[in-house]
Structure 1
Amino acid sequence: MPAATRNGNAKVLRNSRVIKEIPRLSEIELTNTSAQQLLVQSPAPPNTPTPELVQVTAVKANPTTKGVEVILQTTKGEQLQVTNRSAGNNFIADIPNAQLRLPNGDGFTFCSQKPLAGITEITVTNLDANTIRVTVTGETFVPIVELYDSPNEGLIFGVASTAPTQQAQPQTQ
């Protein structure tokens, strides 16, 4: 460590290193990669298939012994990939490369209000041009949802009630 002494308010350093000359811009060796080359992404190879947009032509809600099944009807249910998460009391599932489209090509939205105890709403909507969103809203808890594939029907969301079950109380007379 260099020795330092005080001379008034100034600090004098002894044995400090001399700073080398700073190279000039013309002396710096440039690489072959330009910023433009780094920012431009190369396109996909010419024969890369783009994923087919799966059309869901109907949404049905069928009651079951455990709750309700929400069926996204399509002949290509095996192609649907689901990304799910929860936020607050909501179960949210996004299905990319899919759209709600009636057989005539019109878009639609499915909504079921209070389909069972503990569930306030089930909605199925087009989130954007390539994604369907399924939202199941619980009254006080995140709903219990199971996913099933059905070759004949499409993708099935099995929604169970989140309401606490009441046990039968013995009656007194």
Structure 2
Amino acid sequence: MDKCRQELHTFPCGGSSLSKVTDSVLANIRAESQIIGWVLIASIVLCNLALMCFARCHSPVSFHHLNFWQMYRKQESNLLESYSAQHAKELADRNVKSFFQQQPPDNMVTPPSKAWQNISSFYRFRPNEHFYSPMHEYVEHPDPRASIRSHGPCLDNPLVLGFVDQGVTGM
């Protein structure tokens, strides 16, 4: 017993004369840490699965409505990207022509900064309204002074609608 106490501080470094015991203890510790790691990963995955199932079962949006909403968001995102690229190209072309021809630029309408902020804001699902995105709500309420930002904390936004807030377009 005294020999064990004297060599205890050299155990982790392999300096102990009890090398067979050291190897088996270290192998045991490695195996236990692997088991603990896999149990932790499995428990996280199962908790996430349970939360997703719970959120989908208690969602105020039906399965088909959610699929439509996801398709709408994807189409809106694709069209916005396409129109933005086209408009940016036309604006850049106008500015370059104006620069080289030394003439005032033609009039071109671009949405104001406030409009971009409004369609880029957080969107919260509200069962009593029929909007699928901030842009949809902005277009339906054309008052440029009106804000479509959410009022107060979001208490009724189900987890199943996370794709709306994350900006994910490919489901």
Shorter-chain TM range is under 0.3
Normalising by structure 1, we get a TM-score of: 0.26
Which of 1 and 2 has greater Rg?
1
Normalising by structure 2, we get a TM-score of: 0.27
Structure with bigger helix share is: 2
Structure with bigger strand share is: 1
